[in-house]
Amino acid sequence: MPKLSVVVPFYNVQTYAPDALKSLELNARDDFEFLLVDDCSTDGTAGLLERAARELPGAVHLRHGRNGGLAAARNTGLDAARGEYLAFLDGDDWLAPGHLARTLAAIEGLNCDFVRTDHVRCTGRTRSVQRVPFGPQSVVADPRTAILPADRATSVDYPYAWAGMYHRRLLDRGVLHFTDGLRTAEDRPWIWRLHREASSFAPVGLPGIFYRRGISTSLTQVGDERQLDFIRAFDQVLADVRADRDSGRLLPKAVRTYCAIIAHHFGSIERFEPDVARKLRLMSSAALGRMPQDVLDRVLDSMDVERSTVLRRLRPGRRVPSGANA
């Protein structure tokens, strides 16, 4: 059994894949395997991965017959993984030399279910370190304690699957798989499930992952209907939290985060195609109607005026508190 399996999805990233593959080479060990999942690319990505499978130690090339999205590609890699530990990388990002070995040493030393790492956000030539929103570092904690408070950024707001490493027991228990078919926000139900169902974790710093932002082909930059999958993703978060033993404590956080994401999309609605913008408005209104209304009342009252006004206007029935300008 390999010590570590790294799942790396690729889709039409021939410009950036060489950086990712070179960084894997600089992290390779005899007991590491790299599962390179081509999600039915139509550019030159497949050829790069075929070559890597021949030349990169531990590399295995897996190819989808049709494009399934990031969640499906990660699941394909997880299904093939044989390692005692698991990690992720996206095909347009890259790793610092030796990052995987350092992270592996950290999780083995702490003997916990998973660790979370800082990362470096790269926008053009600009670099900034993004920290795990939980402390102190290298101290094992209950993952549930990292979900709250509702009105502050917490670990469930740091959903990046590649920013960490995970023990295989989580995979065997079904915690690490993603909701198949989600084209965006696939990491949101995943991070909530991870923090609700794992037993132990620790933030460990180690900002050795370089996350490339602002790529024109990235779904975060594309205003088509795939963006609307965030509704289905957060509906799943709410359903899971409602069934949780701590639902009363956790629902305000889940509802507030859902509302914040809806408001975020309306803050840049001009990037959406007109038909998609109309669907966004209708689906967001319906989503607000599905939320527990007493919790939603408290959340809207606690949010800043700009966002709460947007959300109140979308809300079915337009519940406007006395004196509010909605």
What pLDDT, on a 0 to 100 scale, did the predictor assign at position 93?
98
270 token code pair? 């001009």
The fold for domain 4-218 equals: Spore Coat Polysaccharide Biosynthesis Protein SpsA; Chain A (3.90.550)
Beta-strand ranges (E) seen in the chain are: 4-10, 32-38, 59-63, 85-88, 94-95, 114-116, 119-123, 126-130, 164-167, 201-203, 209-213
Our CA dihedral for 202, 205, 209, 211, rounded to 10 degrees, sits at 90
Distances (CA, A) of 25 to 18, 98, 154, 233: 10, 10, 33, 34
- Parse the chain into domains and list their residue ranges: 4-218, 223-314
DSSP string, 268-310: TGGGS-HHHHHHHHHHHHHHHHHS-HHHHHHHHHHS-HHHHHH
- Rounded CA-CA distance 16/98 in Å is 20
List, in order, residues 6 or more apart from 299 with CB less than 8 Å away: 150, 252, 255, 256, 259
239 token code pair? 């359903």
What pLDDT, on a 0 to 100 scale, did the predictor assign at position 131?
97
C-alpha 18 chain-centroid distance: 23
What pLDDT, on a 0 to 100 scale, did the predictor assign at position 216?
54
What pLDDT, on a 0 to 100 scale, did the predictor assign at position 326?
37
pTM of the predicted structure, to 2 decimals: 0.93
What pLDDT, on a 0 to 100 scale, did the predictor assign at position 317?
82
326 residues of the chain, pLDDT tens digit each: 999 999 999 999 999 999 999 999 999 999 999 999 999 999 999 999 999 999 999 999 999 999 999 999 999 999 999 999 999 999 999 999 999 999 999 999 999 999 999 999 999 999 999 999 998 999 999 999 999 999 999 999 999 999 999 999 999 999 999 999 899 999 999 999 999 999 999 999 999 999 999 865 555 555 688 899 999 999 999 999 999 999 999 999 999 999 999 999 998 898 888 999 999 999 999 999 999 999 999 999 999 999 999 999 999 986 555 444 43
